[in-house]
Structure 1
Amino acid sequence: MAYTLEQLRGFVAVADELHFGRAAERLRMTQPPLSRQIQKLERSVGAQLLERDNRRVALTAAGEVFLAEARRLLAMADAAPEAARRVSSGSSGLVRIGFTAASTYGTLGRLLNEVARELPDVDVDLAEMVTREQVAGLLNGEVDLGLARPPFDAGTFGSRLLLREAMLVAVPAGHRLAALGRPVVAEDLRGEPVVMHSPTKARYFYDLVVGLVPVAHEHVVHTVSQVLTMLWLVAARRGLAFVPESATRLHVDGVEFAPLSTPVPEPVELHLLWTRESRNPALWRVLDVLGAAFRTG
């Protein structure tokens, strides 16, 4: 038979007072029902918790151990309603965030710091995923929020522009393009070997680059999915690469950057992404915090 919270409260009162009469008065009840509560509790526990006679009440060794557990259980029970209210309001809980590798170059850290400062009781789990993996994770409930690249299905997902940035040309140190003194145009790139984004694993950047500059297939010397890998290959003088401005934060030796002439000054976009039907209250609080912190023009 399980014991009740009332039995635990009765036991703690008697243990504190070491007197049934004073404990009953503290609990605003009479002594006989309190005595019955303690007896039922001892039967449930399977051990004598109190030694009592007409003159004294004392804790047994088992009672000393059980008292600490009883206090812990009562504290948890008393805290449970407030915890439930906090989760319901979104001020505590768990938000699982998927992010692209490139979003870690400054943006992810700032985002996490904002959430930690404004919502200290919200825990965050992180998972590195490319955008298509984030979309699948949001749909199957593996993540609550993504840091992803467009486009998105507006009927299924809510999104908010988090960051815009320029596209740059990463070149080996001392390369002629770094000394042009102006943005690089398509004609400047003629004949240059290119380290290219993967059309499958980095589809967003692949489509963006192809739409901005003509890249002849015969000039593509390597195809990779990560910006950091691109910069290492550029440093090894394997070719040039097209990277977001945030890649300059990586400070890879042997790499310089030149601005790329683009129709839109900052064509690279990073969005917050979530399912419109999410039932996680903490997600909506996180979105409020990030909406205030990351104002985009």
Structure 2
Amino acid sequence: MEIEIRHFRAFAAVARHRSFSRAADELSITQPALSRTVAQLEAALGVRLLERTSRRVEPTDAGTEFLREAERVLASFDHALTAARRLGVLRLGFSWLLPAPWAQRTIKAFEGSTGASVTLTRTDDPLEALRRRTVDIAVVRGDAAAPEPLRSVRLYDEPRFAVCARESPLAGRDHLDWDEVRDWRLIVNTVSGTTGPWSWPEESRPRDIVETANYDEWVETVAANRGIGIVPETARHRSPHPALRFVPLTDAPPVPVRLVHLPDGPRVLIRRFLDASLAAVAR
């Protein structure tokens, strides 16, 4: 049997704790799995490393000597991993306005725990950027499911707001109902927008649509009073524009915010970034 680093970790944990149960807790594995791993190591070496009784676990003389060497190997291995991870880069794609403070908390926690760095890539179509492999993971808003083979993790939902020009009749209202949107000309960002005709059943869709190709075009078209737009709440806080007014929407479905990635990307970095992301959401 080939001896792996997991065998070193298993034996060292048991030898340090003098306990299979405490070592299993440290390694986050079951006690039977830990016992099998240590037994595999002893069988591969042909040496008994631990004396086991009903009351205690102690390293044998051979186990004591092997522990010194195992800990040296583990320290060197962990040092090599840390050095390599400092060279790692995770490319995060986004179409507009990363959620705050989620993005800042996530990036700080990820970089602090891995030693890797995050580079930010602004792209009108994050899903296409993933397919072209110009980013490793992307923040995607909206209802549409990620196409295969992309993988998706839902983070949270954002409320929707209506946005209009200062001169619009809507600017004086304290709210707009979701069902009323069909009575207004709707400005839609067809590439990275989160709301469009697809957001309503066919019989309830807005009848008058103006299409734009990116967020900047969308903002300026709404500001020019060519119609109204619908945006997630993030835009209300982080897109101040003197010509725009934000109006609460009642009965509007929220906008899902997701992280999307390819299944064959840098798996360790992606998994650690997902862990940091979900922890940031929970704060």
Do they fold alike, i.e. is TM over 0.5?
yes
Question: How far apart in 2 are the matches of 1:269 and 1:197?
Answer: 17
Amino acid at match of 2:192: A
Cα displacement (A) at 1:256 = 0.8
Partner of 2:157: 164
Q: Write the mapping of 1:46-85 to structure 2, written as runs, cut at 5 A.
A: 84-85=80-81
Q: Do the aligned residues in 1 keep the contact of 2:167 with 2:225 (CA within 8 Å)?
A: no
Question: How far apart in 2 are the matches of 1:223 and 1:292?
Answer: 37
Amino acid at match of 2:82: R
- Provide, for residues 14-49 of structure 1, a one-character-per-residue CA deviation record: whole Å limited to 9, x for no partner: xxxxxxxxxxxxxxxxxxxxxxxxxxxxxxxxxxxx
Q: Write the mapping of 1:98-117 to structure 2, written as runs, cut at 5 A.
A: 98-103=93-98, 108-117=103-112
TM-score relative to the length of structure 2: 0.59
Does residue 250 of structure 2 align to residue 254 of structure 1? no
Aligned partner of 2:262 among 275, 290, 293: 275
Aligned partner of 2:145 among 151, 155, 160: 151
Question: How far apart in 1 are the matches of 2:82 and 2:129?
Answer: 27
* Identity within the alignment, %: 19
Question: How far apart in 2 are the matches of 1:182 and 1:174?
Answer: 16
Q: Do the aligned residues in 2 keep the contact of 1:168 with 1:257 (CA within 8 Å)?
A: yes
Partner of 1:194: 186
Q: Write the mapping of 1:172-251 to structure 2, written as runs, cut at 5 A.
A: 172-173=165-166, 175-187=168-180, 189-190=182-183, 192-198=184-190, 201-202=191-192, 205-206=195-196, 208-211=198-201, 214-216=205-207, 219-220=208-209, 222-248=210-236, 249-251=238-240
SS at match of 1:124: strand
Q: Do the aligned residues in 1 keep the contact of 2:136 with 2:266 (CA within 8 Å)?
A: no
TM-score relative to the length of structure 1: 0.57
Q: Do the aligned residues in 2 keep the contact of 1:92 with 1:122 (CA within 8 Å)?
A: yes
Q: Do the aligned residues in 2 keep the contact of 1:159 with 1:272 (CA within 8 Å)?
A: yes
Partner of 2:116: 122
Runs (5+) with no aligned partner, structure 1: 1-79
Cα displacement (A) at 1:128 = 2.3
Larger radius of gyration, structure 1 or 2? 1
SS at match of 1:276: coil
Partner of 2:66: none
Q: What is the root-mean-square deviation of aligned Cα atoms in Å?
A: 3.3
Cα displacement (A) at 1:169 = 1.2
